Structure 1
Amino acid sequence: MARAFKDNRSAHQKIAAGLRRRITRGDLPPGAQLPSTPALMEEYDVAGTTVQKALAMLKEEGLLLGQPGKGVFVKGSTQQAISPEVYMPPAAVGEPYRWISEAEKRSQRGSSKLLKVGVVPPPHEVAKALGLDEGGQALLRKQVLFLDEEPAELTRSYYPLELAEGTAMMEQRKIRGGSPTLLTELGYPPRHLVDEVSSEIPTEDEALALELPKDMPVLLTFRTVYSDHERPIEVSLLAKAAHKYRMRYRLRTP
C-alpha cells in the first residue's frame, strides 16, 4: 500500500515547475506565447497573484519574457545536451580547445575564463580517485566555460603533481588545445572516462559563477579520466545550471 505524501511546495512553485518542464522539454518552444493570466488561473484553480509569482520565477531564470500589451513569451529554449565524449580527445595541432570548436559547430561562441591555478589538498573523493595518500596534494585548475557570453559550466579539475610539475598546467594561463592535448603530449592520452552525475543544491561559489537564480539546483558531474593501464590523470567537478543543460551519453552493448 502506497504511503500518503504531500507536496509542500507553495502553489506558485508547483505551477512554475510544471511550466518549466514544458519549456525545457520543448512542449512550449522558444517564441511561444503562454496562456493569459485568467486562463492560467482557471487551469490551476489559483488566484492571479499566484500565477504572477510563478511567471516571475521563470522570468528570473531567463525562460520567459514579458512584452507589455502583448503577453508573456518563452525566451529560453529546450535544454541543451552536452556530450562528454566529444571533449575528451586532444585537439588537432593548431586547433583550439574543444569547448570552443564544438560550440562553433552549433553556431555558438564558446569561451573560458581561468579563475585559479594552484597546488591544493583536494577534496576527499578527488584524492581517493587519484589514488593519493592521506595529506597528498594535487594541481587545481578552476575555470568558467561560457556559451554565447553566458556562464555554462564551472570546472574544477585536479591533476597528479607528478604529471603536472614542470608543465604549462602549473602556469596561470590557458592551455592551447586544453588539458587533453597537453596530457597527450606528455605521454598520457585520455582513453576513457567515468562520470557520476547528481542534482545538488549549489554552493555559493557555484551560484555566483553560474549566475544562478534562487533555489535552482546544479547538475554536478564527478568525472575521472583514465589513460593507459587505468591510470587516473584528471578528476573534475563540473557544475552546470540544471534548468539549461542535460547530459547525453551514447552507450554500446558489449
Structure 2
Amino acid sequence: MSLGIDPASDRAAFRQIADRLRDEIESGELPPGAKLPSERALMDAYGTARGTIREAIALLRSEGLVTVEHGRGAFVRRRPPVRRLASDRFARQHRDRGKAAYLVELEAEGRRPDVQVLYVGPGPAPADVAARLGLDEGGTVLIRRRMYLADGEPMETATSYVPWGIAEGTAMTEAQTGPGGIYARIEEQGHRLGRFSEEVTARMPTDEERRALRLVPGTPVIGLVRTAFAESGTAVEVCDTVLAADRYVLSYELPAR
C-alpha cells in the first residue's frame, strides 16, 4: 500500500494526499516557507499519477496553505490567510480608538498593514451604486480608491462612494482621512451609523485585477459590496471591494433567532 493512501476509502486519492500534507503543515513538520517535496517525489511516495499530485497541491493552494512558483515548486505560505471578522470589524469601539477596520484586523494577527490611496475626488455614481445610495444615476459622489497590503503583499482593492453632500468640505476628500477612517468622518457629519449590509460573490479576476493583486493564474477573487446605513435608514456609503481569495478567510457570526 502506498504512503497515506487508503484504497478502500471513498475519499479521492488527491484529497487523502492533501490531508496528509495539510497535517504536516499544521503540525509544523512543514514550517512556513518550506518547500514541499517535488511532484516526482510525491508520485513515488504515494504511488500515484502526476495529475493526482497536482490536484492535491491545487486544493492546498485554494485553501491558502501553499503558494506555487513557476519553475520552483510549491511552498508553505509564510503567513496564513487574514481572518476577516465581519461581525466585529466595524464596531464603534474601533472608531473611538481611532482605528479603521483593516488596521485592527492586521494588527491582531501581527501583520504589517499598509494602505495606498490610488484616487480621491468627486465623480458620477455608477448606476448600481446610485441605486444603493438612493441617488439619481450619475449623481455626484466622492470616489475613494485604495489598495490594501499586508507585509507588502497586495490583499484587496476597495472603492468607496459617499454622497457628495456628506463628503464635501470634510477630510474624506483628502488622501488621509484621519483617525477612524471615513466612517468616523461620516459620523462627525451627524450620520451615526446603524448597520452594514454586505453581498459576497466569487469570480475569476479581470486582467487588471490579476496584475494589481499579483495573482497566480487560476486564482479567483471575492467580490464584496458593502452598504453603510445611518440609524435613520439612509445609505451613506457603498464600498466595492475585490479580495484575493487565497489570502482571506471570511468569518461570520450569526444570531440563532
Q: What's the TM-score, normalizing by structure 1?
A: 0.75
Sort the Cα spacing of 1:222 and 1:247 in 2 relative to 1 into closer, same or farther, 3 A: same
Report the Cα distance in structure 2 between the residues aligned to 1:241 and 1:82, rounded to whole angstroms.
12
Task: Indicate conservation of the 8 Å contact 2:145/2:160, yes or no.
Answer: yes
- State the match for 2:5 in structure 1: none
Correspondence list, 1:164-203, <5 A? 164-203=167-206
Identity %: 31
Q: CA RMSD in A?
A: 3.5
| Correspondence 1:141 to 2:144 | yes
Report the Cα distance in structure 1 between the residues aligned to 2:232 and 2:68, rounded to whole angstroms.
52
Deviation, 1:181, is 0.9
Task: Indicate conservation of the 8 Å contact 2:142/2:173, yes or no.
Answer: yes
| Correspondence 1:120 to 2:162 | no
The count of corresponding residues between Structure 1 and Structure 2 is: 230
Q: What's the TM-score, normalizing by structure 2?
A: 0.74
Sort the Cα spacing of 1:209 and 1:158 in 2 relative to 1 into closer, same or farther, 3 A: same
Structure 2 residue corresponding to 1:100, chosen from 97, 100, 103: 103
Report the Cα distance in structure 2 between the residues aligned to 1:120 and 1:44, rounded to whole angstroms.
60
Deviation, 1:28, is 3.7
**In structure 1, what residue type is equivalent to 2:77?**
K
| Correspondence 1:236 to 2:235 | no
Deviation, 1:37, is 3.1
C-alpha deviations, 1:150-188, integer Å up to 9, x for none? 222211111011101111112233433201111111111
Task: Indicate conservation of the 8 Å contact 1:32/1:74, yes or no.
Answer: no
Deviation, 1:46, is 2.4
Sort the Cα spacing of 1:204 and 1:73 in 2 relative to 1 into closer, same or farther, 3 A: closer
| Correspondence 1:83 to 2:80 | no
Task: Indicate conservation of the 8 Å contact 1:138/1:159, yes or no.
Answer: yes
Correspondence list, 1:216-227, <5 A? 216-227=219-230
Report the Cα distance in structure 1 between the residues aligned to 2:97 and 2:196, rounded to whole angstroms.
25
Report the Cα distance in structure 2 between the residues aligned to 1:31 and 1:65, rounded to whole angstroms.
19
Report the Cα distance in structure 1 between the residues aligned to 2:194 and 2:98, rounded to whole angstroms.
20
* Structure 2: gaps spanning 5 or more residues: 1-13, 31-35
Task: Indicate conservation of the 8 Å contact 2:157/2:243, yes or no.
Answer: yes
Sort the Cα spacing of 1:99 and 1:53 in 2 relative to 1 into closer, same or farther, 3 A: closer
C-alpha deviations, 1:26-57, integer Å up to 9, x for none? 77438544455345326484249x95898699
Deviation, 1:207, is 2.0
Moved more, 200-209 or 225-234: 200-209
**In structure 2, what residue type is equivalent to 1:130?**
L
- State the match for 2:160 in structure 1: 157
Report the Cα distance in structure 2 between the residues aligned to 1:111 and 1:149, rounded to whole angstroms.
7
